[in-house]
Amino acid sequence: MTKSPKPNTCTAIRQIIQQVRETLPFTMPAAELCAGPCKGCAKKLLELLDGEIMDWEQRLDSGEIPTLGDVNKFGRLCQKIHKAIENNGLI
């Protein structure tokens, strides 16, 4: 059985970004984000994550190579925000 090669850190961050953009409701209007019970401000969390994504995209495009620690930190942030958005019933 052969293992597929693990992606490099640049590819890993880009894959996380793609999954996050496909999963989280970045385009949902603020009125809908704030309509139900609030367990952590979904609007602010999405704004924070969108800023982090744009920062990483810019850094990657300029040739920066993230460390494994960067990938891990970014992945954990995405997971925490996903869980909060899910707890708010938005996904």
Alpha helices (runs of H) in the chain, residue ranges in sequence order? 9-23, 30-33, 42-61, 68-87
pLDDT tens per residue across span 21-71: 999 998 888 878 777 667 778 889 999 999 999 999 999 999 999 999 999
pTM of the model: 0.84
Which of 51, 88, 68, 50 is CA-nearest to residue 13?
68
The one-character DSSP state at 26 is T
9: its two tokens:
């850190």
- pLDDT given for residue 38 in this prediction: 72
Cα distances (Å, whole numbers) of residue 86 to 37, 40, 42, 62, 81: 12, 11, 10, 33, 8
Q: Residue ranges of the domains in the chain?
A: 9-87
